[in-house]
Amino acid sequence: MKITVKDLNHILDNTFYITAYFGNDYIQIEDQCYQHNEILTELLNYDFSAFYTLFDGLKSNHLHSNTALYEKTLTATNKNLSGNPILKKLGMNTFLKNSKPNFEFYQDLFESIKLIQDTYKHFCDALYIHKKSLAGEVDKRRYINLGVFANSSIFTGDSDSSTATTCFEVKHSFKTKSQQLFEKVTFTKLIDFIYVDFYKGIMRDFSPKKCKLCGKYFLQDNGHIFEYCNNPSESNPAKTCREIGSKKSFAQKSKNDEIWQIYLRAYKKYHSRKQKNLMSPEQFEEWRYTAEDIRDHALRERDRLTKDNRPFDIVKYKADINFIK
């Protein structure tokens, strides 16, 4: 990667900067575009155990003033972080290859990554417990003032640490391939970048969510609600967790839910008619689309009535879904 004048200035003052350009619904860093919370999602899934082990050695050698071992461990730590695919997206590889950060840099990075992985996981899991809007859950649980973000200098307003500078800039968008107006924010701390990007994502309903099958986090897109990620399953790489999980969910619903059972019996009945040419494919598709609407409405109506301790009319539902005689 070519080193710019900006990179050179950062290297000379031995400070790492993350310069992010926030667009309407995405972030641009260097020449790449990312969705809000895409980088956080990758951070939550990444195994940093090798870096943690190296930092423990670095810390021990630093405390005991073991210069030779410290330099050796420093080189190994730099190599480990320079090759990290997530930190590379933030431009850290250029900084590490062309500068010599002090111990405080690694300590701050270590603490930031630990805090992000340990607390944002709990935070993101809690957001989906009650299946309400993300903003509603944030407000209800007072997550704006949650202590897990106390280490963010943006949150604390710590005037003794350089946190972030912001301005607006028109530049080329690698997403739209045209000139766009961006909010340019320069961060000196990883956790500050994550904090800002996280809440910008929440504002647009983009948030990491744990897959119920593999346990890894995936990015919950705006307008979509999934329980499973779209990555290959560890047990069956030919299929995604979403394909396997959806099939299991469907099987469980059809086995234990009377509304689903009635729908499936009706489906088999009308599908059999189509196979026997007693019903045209067009008539079957018309029934199927209408029946799905009736089924989904019934599921919502039953939930609403159950909350009010009122009975759901299953007989009427059965008649409604078998509307073609």
- Which pLDDT tens digit goes with each residue over 57-71? 999 988 888 888 989
pLDDT tens-place string over residues 309-323? 999 999 999 999 998
- Which pLDDT score, from 0 to 100, does residue 180 have? 95
pLDDT at 167: 94
Least confident of 152-161, 191-200, 229-238, 288-297: 152-161
Q: Rounded mean pLDDT of the chain?
A: 83
Domain boundaries, given as residue ranges, for the chain: 5-46+84-206, 257-321
Residue 73 burial (CB count, 10 A): 22
Share of the chain above pLDDT 90, in %: 46
What are the tens digits of pLDDT across the range 24-45? 889 999 899 999 999 999 999 9
pLDDT at 290: 92
Residue 185 has pLDDT above 80, yes or no: yes
Kindly indicate the confidence band of residue 146, based on its pLDDT and cuts at 50, 70 and 90.
very low
Check residues 163 and 61 and name the one with the higher pLDDT: 61
- Binning pLDDT at 50, 70 and 90, where does residue 14 land? low
